[in-house]
């Protein structure tokens, strides 16, 4: 039986230990159990102070996220925290690991907070489309002032114990491994000093905030408008923190509760909670059991020091794993290493890394020109240009060089991994590791499983992804894998609509309004039209633009014209070209208007492609498709990904609308069997009957 909360008494100090693996989420049973233990301790005349401590790897990581959207179970957070705060005996939180969300809010309701040196605290609710709903927005401003509170709560960042101490969020730091004893000693000291019971609620917010600047809230919203765009939670957080300033504590709490209850019922929060669990689920491969052997990756080889190879290398350096980086010429390797150094130096300038750290990381690279230097690497990643012949040749050589038991990976973004694996005598050791550009920044890693890839190789890749800060999504072998396959139909529809006479800025605006950082044509211009260079036998607008030197933003002209500040404006030349190309291809004007119609046109084919990817068994589950879209090409996180979004619209409606569109625009709108089947059953993607 799992012990949820149990008490022990040592010399007048009651120690309540919470034990709800894996992260001590404050579920209803845990709340009930803690409430009971607290009531007993407070009623026990032998108890002079109470310490709340957690078993396992962390203090409470927050409310149990799986409970949101269900009927609330007693006791409420408010009831529990009121008991703590109003307790006639001092209550002390002893924090290790991460005290997050409702967990940190519990600590804030305690009279004192003792933290282990490596502990972190934070209010990450914003990442779930929520605000701290258990007093965090009212107590934090009272401890640190409104401005710091706005930063902490809207960023959701984890604050190291040292910073938390200097901010006044915790009272003392103690050595790791000695938390229990230190917290007991702290409690004894408090008792000896006369059982003082300071409460965050009694602090004056105005003692920290400059009274003359009531505009801090509107200033803060304006300054962060870009970052908050489209998200509902930041505005609600600002309103709640403002309530901490404007209203008495209890009224502020009531305002916070009302805002929380509103947010938790929004589709945005449902989407962001879906993404939270989907990211974690993605690492699981059903036929690769948890006890599959994980290979030890202590050294990595990367072939190709271009943009991709360099970015890939940085991931391993950041994780402290040495990399042997191999190129064809001295010039190429020197350039690649210099770019890596420049990237790190830029991070130093932003104050996010020290000069010593740069040297440490650069010291982990062994640059060279000889593939033979990869003989000892535990994992080799090939990141040369996309040519099957070149890759097969490299894998053939690697096969002769790499030690037995080394994983041989390709960073191909669309080639047939099985053909690459066949160039070796050990296809079971070959896997795809498809990084997204910039590879040191983008969190998605598509792990491509070939027909022969061995289970330990898959399991190792999934584990390694986490070690280097990536979210792995398993993909089968197909042209474009998951993320790129999803992106293609959106582009095809954007271009079709352009030729039918829909203004490109209307198409882009619809995507930006939906939540993408930029529209299709803006993205093409940013990447560079010459770089995208599609093979086409037909006359295309892009081909014509390239032919007349309009290569995109870098030339000040592409689909759009750009001024010195890179602001796009409509181009007469492009409009003319569009009309011209449409006329030669016999496309009649038929502009689409209205955001809903534009989005149906642009995004339903993406939903359909996602369904095909599932149907073909390329992705393991619907939520993996969502993660690939969100992390691979910035599908707005608050939409939950294409398939979650489709569920929210209703698959029945999507199928009906697609059939209409199919009549007008053809095959791209023919709903795939899986989509039709689910719609007929009234089910959504990933939903069991
Ligand atoms: C909140 O508190 C609202 C309140 O303000 C107001 C209430 C009224 N609930 O991430 P990991 C699971 S909102 C349920 O892989 P790590 C997770 O799904 C909450 N489950 O470990 C996974 O399950 P599985 C605010 C949770 O070591 C397992 O635990 N708090 C929760 O890489 C391990 O997780 C947060 O948003 C939860 N709260 O990282 C914090 N948390 O093994 C969310 C985790 O089945 N949590 N799980 O896949 C985290 O950020 C990370 O889990 C943490 C550990 C940093 C704690």
Condensed to tens digits (0 to 9), the pLDDT of residues 462-483 reads: 999 999 999 999 999 999 999 9
In this prediction, what percent of the chain has a pLDDT beyond 90? 90
Both 306 and 160 in a single domain? no
CATH of the domain at 419: 3.40.50.720
- Higher pLDDT pick, 370 / 204: 370
Crossing angle (nearest 10°) for helices 216-223 and 233-246: 170
Query: Which pair of tokens denotes residue 78?
Result: 């408010």
Domain limit, last residue, from 585, 618, 645:
585
Q: Is the CB of 129 under 6 A from ligand 1?
A: no
pLDDT score at 118: 98
- Higher pLDDT pick, 281 / 212: 281
Mean pLDDT of 558-566: 94
Both 332 and 424 in a single domain? yes
CATH of the domain at 260: 3.90.226.10
pLDDT score at 204: 79
DSSP state of 52: E
Residue 534: pLDDT band by 50, 70, 90 thresholds?
low
pLDDT score at 689: 61
Strand partners, 17: 6, 53
pLDDT score at 538: 80
- Higher pLDDT pick, 250 / 204: 250
Q: Is the CB of 499 under 6 A from ligand 1?
A: no
Domain limit, last residue, from 433, 449, 479:
479
Residue 247 lies in a domain: yes
Residue 215: pLDDT band by 50, 70, 90 thresholds?
confident
Q: Is the CB of 108 under 6 A from ligand 1?
A: no
- Higher pLDDT pick, 504 / 214: 504
Residue 391: pLDDT band by 50, 70, 90 thresholds?
very high
Nearest CA to ligand 1 atom 39: 23
CATH of the domain at 578: 1.10.1040.50
Asked if pLDDT for residue 559 goes beyond 70, the answer is yes
Residue 593 lies in a domain: no
Distance 62 CA to ligand 1 centre (A): 7
Strand ranges (DSSP E) for 57-171? 91-95, 98-100, 112-116, 120-122, 159-160
Asked if pLDDT for residue 208 goes beyond 60, the answer is no
Residue 126 lies in a domain: yes
Model ipTM value: 0.99
Q: Is the CB of 280 under 6 A from ligand 1?
A: yes
Q: Is the CB of 253 under 6 A from ligand 1?
A: no
In this prediction, what percent of the chain has a pLDDT beyond 70? 98
Residue 190 lies in a domain: yes
Handedness of CA 53, 56, 62, 64 (dihedral sign): negative
Residue 651 lies in a domain: yes
Give the mutation target among 18, 20, 23 for probing the ligand 1 site: most ligand atoms within 8 A of CB.
23
Asked if pLDDT for residue 81 goes beyond 70, the answer is yes
pLDDT score at 263: 98
Both 464 and 385 in a single domain? yes
Q: CA-to-CA distance for 667 and 97, rounded, in angstroms? A: 53
Q: Which domain holds residue 538?
A: 501-585
Both 463 and 539 in a single domain? no
Residue partners of 36: CB distance under 8 A and separation at least 6:
5
Do residues 109 and 139 lie in contact, with contact meaning Cβ atoms separated by under 8 Å?
A: yes
pLDDT score at 633: 87
- Higher pLDDT pick, 124 / 564: 124
DSSP state of 552: B
pLDDT score at 139: 97
Question: What's the pLDDT tens digit per position in 90-101?
Answer: 999 999 999 999
Both 118 and 254 in a single domain? yes
Both 210 and 133 in a single domain? yes
Domain count for the chain: 4
Mean pLDDT of 548-552: 94
Residue 89 lies in a domain: yes
Question: What's the pLDDT tens digit per position in 322-343?
Answer: 999 999 999 999 999 999 999 9
Residue partners of 239: CB distance under 8 A and separation at least 6:
255, 259
Distance 358 CA to ligand 1 centre (A): 32
Residue 51 lies in a domain: yes
Asked if pLDDT for residue 38 goes beyond 70, the answer is yes
CA distances from 44 to 5, 11, 30, 40, 47 (A): 17, 13, 21, 6, 6
Residue partners of 50: CB distance under 8 A and separation at least 6:
13, 14, 15, 16, 38, 41, 42, 87, 89, 90, 91, 92, 187
Both 171 and 314 in a single domain? no
Residue 415: pLDDT band by 50, 70, 90 thresholds?
very high
CA distances from 545 to 364, 425, 555 (A): 44, 46, 11
| SS3 (DSSP) at 337 | helix
Both 615 and 538 in a single domain? no
Mean pLDDT of 556-578: 95
Nearest CA to ligand 1 atom 46: 61
Both 555 and 604 in a single domain? no
pLDDT score at 507: 98
pLDDT score at 211: 55
Other beta carbons within 10 Å of 399? 16
Crossing angle (nearest 10°) for helices 622-633 and 642-649: 120
CA-nearest of 226, 241, 2, 3 to 136 is: 241
Both 453 and 355 in a single domain? yes
Residue 2: pLDDT band by 50, 70, 90 thresholds?
low
Both 644 and 546 in a single domain? no
Residues annotated as part of the active site: 105, 125
Domain limit, last residue, from 535, 550, 585:
585
Residue 2 lies in a domain: no
Both 533 and 666 in a single domain? no
pLDDT score at 237: 98
Q: Is the pTM of this model over 0.90?
A: yes
């Amino acid at each position: 039986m799992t012990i949820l909360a149990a008490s022990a008494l040592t010399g007048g100090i009651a120690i309540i230990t919470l034990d709800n693996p894996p992260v001590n989420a404050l579920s209803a049973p845990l709340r009930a159990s803690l409430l009971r233990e607290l009531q007993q301790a407070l009623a026990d005349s032998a108890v002079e102070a109470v310490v709340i401590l957690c078993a396992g790897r962390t203090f409470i990581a927050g409310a149990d996220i799986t409970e949101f959207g269900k009927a609330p179970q007693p006791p409420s957070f408010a009831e529990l925290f009121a008991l703590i705060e109003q307790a006639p005996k001092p209550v002390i939180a002893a924090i290790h690991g991460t005290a997050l969300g409702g967990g940190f809010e519990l600590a804030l309701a305690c009279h004192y907070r003792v933290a282990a040196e490596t502990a972190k605290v934070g209010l990450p609710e914003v990442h779930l489309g929520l605000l701290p709903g258990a007093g965090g927005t009212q107590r934090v401003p009272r401890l640190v002032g409104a401005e710091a509170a706005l930063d902490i709560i809207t960023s959701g960042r984890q604050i190291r114990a040292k910073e938390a101490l200097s901010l006044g969020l915790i009272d003392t730091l103690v050595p790791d491994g000695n938390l229990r004893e230190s917290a007991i000693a702290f409690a004894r000291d408090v008792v000896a000093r006369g059982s003082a019971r300071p409460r965050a609620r009694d602090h004056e917010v105005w003692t920290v905030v400059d009274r003359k600047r009531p505009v801090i809230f509107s200033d803060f919203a304006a300054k962060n408008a870009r970052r908050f765009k489209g998200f509902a939670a930041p505005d609600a957080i600002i309103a709640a923190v403002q309530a901490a300033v404007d209203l008495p504590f209890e009224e502020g709490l009531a305002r916070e509760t009302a805002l929380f209850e509103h947010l938790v019922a929004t589709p945005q929060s449902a989407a962001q909670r879906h993404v939270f669990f989907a990211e974690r689920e993605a690492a699981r491969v059903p036929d690769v059991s948890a006890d599959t052997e994980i290979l030890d990756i202590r050294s990595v080889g990367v072939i190709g020091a271009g943009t991709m190879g360099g970015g890939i290398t940085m991931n391993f350096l950041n994780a402290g794993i040495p990399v042997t980086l191999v190129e064809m010429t001295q010039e190429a390797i020197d350039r690649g290493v210099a770019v890596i150094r420049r990237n790190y130096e830029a991070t130093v300038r932003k104050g996010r890394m020290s000069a010593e750290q740069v040297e440490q990381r650069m010291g982990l690279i062994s640059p060279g020109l000889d593939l033979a230097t990869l003989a000892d690497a535990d994992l080799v990643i090939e990141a040369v240009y996309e040519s099957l012949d070149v890759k097969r040749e490299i894998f053939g050589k690697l096969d002769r060089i790499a030690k037995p038991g080394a994983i041989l990976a390709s960073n191909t973004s669309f080639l047939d991994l099985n053909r690459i694996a066949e160039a070796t005598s050990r296809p079971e050791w070959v896997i795809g590791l498809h990084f997204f550009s910039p590879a040191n920044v983008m969190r998605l890693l598509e792990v491509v499983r070939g027909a022969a890839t061995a289970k330990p190789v898959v399991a190792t890749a999934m584990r390694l992804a986490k070690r280097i800060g990536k979210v792995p999504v398993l993909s089968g072998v197909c042209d474009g894998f998951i993320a790129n396959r999803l992106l293609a139909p959106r582009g095809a529809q954007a271009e079709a609509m352009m030729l039918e006479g829909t203004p490109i800025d209307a198409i882009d605006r619809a995507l930006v309004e939906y939540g993408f950082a930029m529209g299709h044509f803006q993205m093409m211009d940013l990447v560079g039209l010459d770089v995208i260079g599609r093979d086409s036998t037909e006359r295309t607008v892009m081909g014509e633009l390239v032919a007349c030197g309009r290569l995109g933003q870098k030339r000040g002209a592409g689909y759009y014209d750009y001024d010195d500040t890179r602001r796009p404006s409509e181009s007469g030349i492009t409009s003319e070209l569009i009309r011209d190309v449409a006329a030669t291809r016999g496309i009649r004007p038929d502009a689409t208007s209205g955001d809903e119609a534009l989005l149906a046109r642009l995004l339903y084919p993406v939903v359909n492609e996602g369904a095909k990817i599932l149907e073909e068994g390329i992705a393991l589950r619907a939520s993996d498709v969502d993660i690939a879209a969100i992390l691979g090409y910035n599908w707005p996180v608050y939409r939950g990904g294409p398939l979650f979004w489709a569920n929210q619209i209703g698959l029945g409606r999507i199928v009906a609308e697609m059939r209409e569109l199919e009549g007008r625009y053809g095959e791209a709108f023919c709903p795939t069997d899986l989509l039709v089947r689910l719609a007929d059953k009234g089910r959504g993607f990933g939903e069991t009957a």
